[in-house]
Structure 1
Amino acid sequence: MPTVTVQPTGVSPADVLAVARGDAQVLLADSTVAAMAASRAIVDGIERAGRPVYGVSTGFGALANTSIAPERRSELQHALIRSHAAGVGAPMPREVVRAMMLLRARSLALGHSGVRPVVAQALVDLLNHDITPWVPEHGSLGASGDLAPLAHCAMVLLGEGWVLDKSGARHDGGEALRRAGLRPLELAAKEGLALINGTDGMLGMLLLAIHDAAHLFTMADVTAALGIEAMLGSDRPFRPELHSIRPHPGQAVSAANIHRLLQSSSIMDSHRDDLAHAVQDAYSMRCAPQVAGAARDTLSFAESVAGRELVSVVDNPVVLPDGRVESTGNFHGAPLGFAADFLAIAAAEVGAIAERRVDRLLDVCRSRELPAFLSPDPGVNSGLMIAQYTAAGIVAENRRLASPASVDSVPTSGMQEDHVSMGWAAARKLRTVLDNLTSLLAVELLAAVRGLQLRAPLTPSPAGRAAVETVARFAGEPGPDIFLAPAMEAARAVVAGRDLRAAIESEVGPLA
């Protein structure tokens, strides 16, 4: 089993994926333990000196001016966790919770939180024993970070709260610790606050979404090329010299992908020199690289934001090496909220233009002599008519989800936290948009393959042949109507998976 080692410099995006989805084991580097111990010594010194410091000897939020007696400071930390574990709703997916716990351990490991190494080790123990806290979907405003979701994780460290099993059932957190041979954690001053003050939930979701979006944007180029080929489109708009004069990097990448995918096709050759053929294809065909490319550039921006956040100290207050403990606003999730919202907008448009190509493929007046709704016997049979309805409904939902969450601040905590990021909500809806994009590309894959099959005896490109072979296994050949829902589910799996992409790349070379 692979192992991820948490260093004082943090972890990488690949580390997060390995732990969240690959169940990698986690270790704390010796240098990480030393960094946390040095930071904790500063907090212990402050306690002995009796200095008033937020979160160490005071209450929280609007209660920041309330002094806490030394003998009640451990109680304060436990009470903080219990009161902040106030989420409601369905549980977050296991992969999100695992990413969040690793990232919180990473944050503590940076050595600016003033916690004992045993606190970070307790999070690592949950990961390594496959204990997943039950984290409700609602509760975080991305204000002082993801307070409620992280508090639900911390509850399990205390031997309380709930855990989620792989069947989706909920169990007692204390019992889960006992079965794993783990002991509940007794928190010292500041440690409860350090467990919940940060952007780890929204960052974890953003990192998972970035990984998924990178693959889906490539698959969007694939399904676009298949649809263009089936509609007897032109490959001329995708030539590199036409994109070098508008030098957006993502656009050049998508154009190069589509151009390569359309080569060595007798379908394309059949009309290449036909003077009666359309001089210009519709925007949904001709402008595919401009839309998908802009989405790629938005993805690059999100990657840069997530990369910076991975090396950021997002706790509050922070413990500095010179002994100062300073309040900051680094927990505010605006950078991540903006990035998630921007990426959701981009992904929604990649899906919207794909649906327009589907509609064109199904329309007998615009598909260049393909039968209505891609049925050889339209009338008795409806072909893919209702698959396009489904796609249209998903596009409409994505438009609603593309409305930014990060502009929707609601003040809290007696106006102490009077502007919040809504980054958690932005990241959650981004995941839904990407899941919807998978469905939209699946519909385009089905429609494009049907179109290619109906162009026989002309043979498609190598990419088209690979797609036809893959889809025919579960959708068959053009003919009488079939039960479409299973075929659409199978097409979703093909789009989300890597097998079709690998088969195409074995023929045409790597796609970016």
Structure 2
Amino acid sequence: MLLLDGRSLQIADVMAVADGALAVGLAPEARARMQVTRDVVDRAVARAEPVYGINTGFGKLSEVTIAGDQLAALQRNLVRSHAAGVGDPLPEREVRAMMLLRANVLATAYAGARPVVVESLLAMLNAGVWPVVPEQGSVGASGDLAPLAHLALTLIGEGTARYQQHEGPSHELLALAGLSAVTLEAKEGLALINGTQAHTAVASLACAELTRLWHAAHVATAMSLEALLGTPDAFDARIQEARGQSGQMESAAMLRMLLEGSEIRESHRYGDPRVQDAYALRCVPQVHGPALDALRFARGVISRELNAATDNPLVLATGELLSGGNFHGQAVAMASDLLAIICANLAVISERRIDRLVHPDFNQGLPPFLAGSPGLESGQMMAQVTAAALASECKGLAHPASVDSIPTDGNKEDVVPMAMGAATKLRRSVRNLRHVIAIELIAAAEALEYRRPLRSSVAVERAHAIIRQHVARATGDRPPAPDITRLGEAVAAGALDAITEAFVV
């Protein structure tokens, strides 16, 4: 069981919980800290002095003081009124990640919520009850108010939830799972909806898959280079060291490892009139390397946000309540935009390698479009078109959302980061990249068949064998779509991880 302490959650934990592979509990030390700051809130309620989030209205209405006998209604109304999301529901994995992150934020003890709120949220998570959360409606300003409000609705027994094969009123599904709704007390509604956990959940899962796809892109590159009789000389360590960019050096090192000991390379080492390969082969370290540098930066931002206190006001164990702006989602919004740029660059260079594999003018004697009977068959012709469409869409999705802003809440929230939009377009970019890389792997594996009986390196042959477990060699035309989807899902699930496990990024 993963014990939440509000301080040590990692992206790998988020993935495990999102996939249902790990139960979650509240760490005893976090529970003790939460009780201390909850006592601070209770004392503030007893004093009856106006304190934002406890006995006042919210946002533009923060000047309105609320009577003590209406504080529970205030929190309930806050959750109800802010559940204004629309559009397609977030996938279960993302909702589970969001539930985990919200529980972890409460476990920081800066929100002043009772431990029972976290324990009830984790009970839902462990039981498999999850709220239906519409994807659209958050600008990431006071955090993801609308998505988190839909989450909070289920916790209080309202709204719509899912459990096993059922979808229906939350109170019914909570009862079916043997759980009880929570009655919110002072500040707890605000504690549940004020923060960055919806877009951070989406971004953290997308970042984790993109890390895996960065590795897979190198495997695809190595296979394509071999199939196209390219030279690994451009990956010489001395070339990379002369520039000094760390990601570039690591990318080239991975490619050298993947290509080591290839019979195919030895077969054309001498007598090949080509001096240099096209950029899509020769300049991979110069493209994949900066992607790694940027990926590490963005992953650091997202990792820190997992344990960030993003409520307002923050409740301190000293008895102070500090009003600030930690709920503003600019940090993860910018990180998500950067990750989308990475996706676009990796997709574009992969699509160019795919084109060289199928183009009869550039593919070094391979059959046109890798078709067994060109003309009668079209081979991988349309798969390359699909890759082109996806790569081009990634270019559009790389336009940053985080530079946009539109005032909300009566101009109280006058600078907003559009963080949820940045995260959801990142998710689509990652999915596009997954399919582009799957197409390259399929085409490169098919092309290698035409280089037999020569064998590639040990690493490339291992990768080829794994691909063949999911996609059979073409024996004529067949619809490529199922192959692309199946291999893409396998790569996203880690099918190629063992090939590059020595390289930790």
- Shorter-normalised TM-score: what interval? over 0.9
1:220 and 2:222 are equivalent in the alignment: no
Corresponding position of 1:355: 351
Secondary structure of the 2:56 match is: coil
Q: How far apart in 1 are the matches of 2:136 and 2:489?
A: 28
Q: How far apart in 2 are the matches of 1:103 and 1:386?
A: 41
Moved more, 200-209 or 486-495: 486-495
Q: Following TM superposition, by how much is the alpha carbon of 1:511 offset from its aligned partner in structure 2, in angstroms?
A: 7.2
Q: How far apart in 1 are the matches of 2:91 and 2:360?
A: 43
1:198 and 2:195 are equivalent in the alignment: yes
Q: Following TM superposition, by how much is the alpha carbon of 1:479 offset from its aligned partner in structure 2, in angstroms?
A: 4.3
Q: How far apart in 1 are the matches of 2:446 and 2:40?
A: 68
1:408 and 2:407 are equivalent in the alignment: no
Moved more, 429-438 or 9-18: 9-18
- Equivalent residue for 2:262, pick from 262, 265, 269: 265
Root mean square deviation, CA, Å: 1.7
Q: How far apart in 1 are the matches of 2:363 and 2:485?
A: 25
Is contact 1:453–1:478 with CA below 8 Å preserved after alignment? no
Q: How far apart in 2 are the matches of 1:302 and 1:474?
A: 32
1:70 and 2:80 are equivalent in the alignment: no
Is contact 2:104–2:307 with CA below 8 Å preserved after alignment? no
Corresponding position of 2:138: 140
Corresponding position of 1:150: 148
1:369 and 2:365 are equivalent in the alignment: yes
With normalisation by structure 1, the TM-score equals 0.95
With normalisation by structure 2, the TM-score equals 0.96
- Equivalent residue for 1:238, pick from 235, 238, 257: 235
Q: How far apart in 2 are the matches of 1:18 and 1:501?
A: 16
Extract unaligned runs of 5+ from structure 1.
Answer: none
Secondary structure of the 1:89 match is: strand
Corresponding position of 2:96: 98
Is contact 1:162–1:171 with CA below 8 Å preserved after alignment? yes
- TM alignment of 1:54-453, pairs within 5 A: 54-165=52-163, 170-274=167-271, 276-453=272-449
Secondary structure of the 1:245 match is: helix
Are residues 487 and 312 of structure 1, via their aligned partners in 2, closer, same or farther at CA, if it must alter by over 3 Å? closer
Q: Following TM superposition, by how much is the alpha carbon of 1:8 offset from its aligned partner in structure 2, in angstroms?
A: 4.6
Corresponding position of 1:497: 493
Q: Following TM superposition, by how much is the alpha carbon of 1:263 offset from its aligned partner in structure 2, in angstroms?
A: 2.0
Q: Following TM superposition, by how much is the alpha carbon of 1:354 offset from its aligned partner in structure 2, in angstroms?
A: 0.1
Deviations 1:74-108 (A, max 9, x none): 10100000001111111111111111111111111
- TM alignment of 1:41-56, pairs within 5 A: 41-56=39-54
Paired AA for residue 377 in structure 1? S
Q: How far apart in 2 are the matches of 1:501 and 1:452?
A: 21
Q: Following TM superposition, by how much is the alpha carbon of 1:163 offset from its aligned partner in structure 2, in angstroms?
A: 0.7
Aligned residue pair count: 505
Q: How far apart in 2 are the matches of 1:462 and 1:272?
A: 18
Deviations 1:377-428 (A, max 9, x none): 2111111111001111111111111111111211111100111111111111
Moved more, 391-400 or 479-488: 479-488
Moved more, 325-334 or 456-465: 456-465
Q: How far apart in 2 are the matches of 1:8 and 1:263?
A: 45
Secondary structure of the 2:168 match is: strand
Q: How far apart in 2 are the matches of 1:23 and 1:372?
A: 45
Deviations 1:133-167 (A, max 9, x none): 11011111101111111111110111111112455
Q: How far apart in 1 are the matches of 2:53 and 2:305?
A: 23
Corresponding position of 2:478: 482
Are residues 139 and 23 of structure 1, via their aligned partners in 2, closer, same or farther at CA, if it must alter by over 3 Å? farther
Are residues 59 and 280 of structure 1, via their aligned partners in 2, closer, same or farther at CA, if it must alter by over 3 Å? same
Paired AA for residue 499 in structure 1? A
Is contact 2:219–2:460 with CA below 8 Å preserved after alignment? no
Q: How far apart in 2 are the matches of 1:204 and 1:475?
A: 32
Moved more, 244-253 or 11-20: 11-20
Secondary structure of the 2:243 match is: coil
Corresponding position of 2:14: 16
Corresponding position of 1:29: 27
Extract unaligned runs of 5+ from structure 2.
Answer: none
Paired AA for residue 68 in structure 2? P
Paired AA for residue 346 in structure 2? V
Percent identity for Structure 1 against Structure 2: 44
Q: Following TM superposition, by how much is the alpha carbon of 1:15 offset from its aligned partner in structure 2, in angstroms?
A: 2.3
Q: Following TM superposition, by how much is the alpha carbon of 1:206 offset from its aligned partner in structure 2, in angstroms?
A: 1.9
